[in-house]
Amino acid sequence: MSHRILLVDDAIVIRYLLARILKAGGYQIAGEASNGYEAFEQYKKLQPDLVTMDITMPEMSGIEAIRAIKNYDPEAKIIVCSALGQQAFIDEALEAGAANYILKPFQQKQVLDVVSAVLAER
């Protein structure tokens, strides 16, 4: 059975690109969300194996959503998707409970390698 992934980004084009990469890698897209609040609600409803999380979003930031999800499910696996040059945000996201990060613009091999490594963690 393929792993189910929740894609969270306010830019639909980013969600589309990630979905294409992940589907090509054999993963299933469990759902999508365009802000942190939707991400938390979708996480509770869908119980995905992994979440890809943008940091800068309207209504609730990715960092706030990471904290909410990790508070709800300490075992949640979350990968932050961030633009180059946002190292302070990446560090804050990792402190909030993200397992790893992927830099935009995405490289297919990097995305699949990071997803595989995080899903393999116990």
Sheet architecture: strand order including 50-54:
28-33, 4-8, 50-54, 78-83, 100-104
Tell which residue, 50, 23, 43, has the closest CA to residue 117: 50
Q: What is the pLDDT of residues 13-55, one digit of tens each?
A: 999 999 999 999 999 999 999 999 999 999 999 999 999 999 9
- Does the structure show a pLDDT above 80 at 61? yes
Q: Which pLDDT score is estimated for 117?
A: 97
Q: Which pLDDT score is estimated for 83?
A: 84
Crossing angle of the two packed helices 108-120 and 12-24, in degrees rounded to 10: 70
Q: What is the pTM of this model?
A: 0.95
**Average pLDDT estimate for 58-81:** 96
Q: How far apart are CA 11 and CA 76, in angstroms?
A: 23
**Comparing 71-75, 87-91, 106-110, which segment has the lowest mean pLDDT?**
87-91
Q: How far apart are CA 23 and CA 96, in angstroms?
A: 28
Q: Which pLDDT score is estimated for 1?
A: 62
Question: Which domains are seen in the chain, by residue range?
Answer: 4-120 (3.40.50.2300)
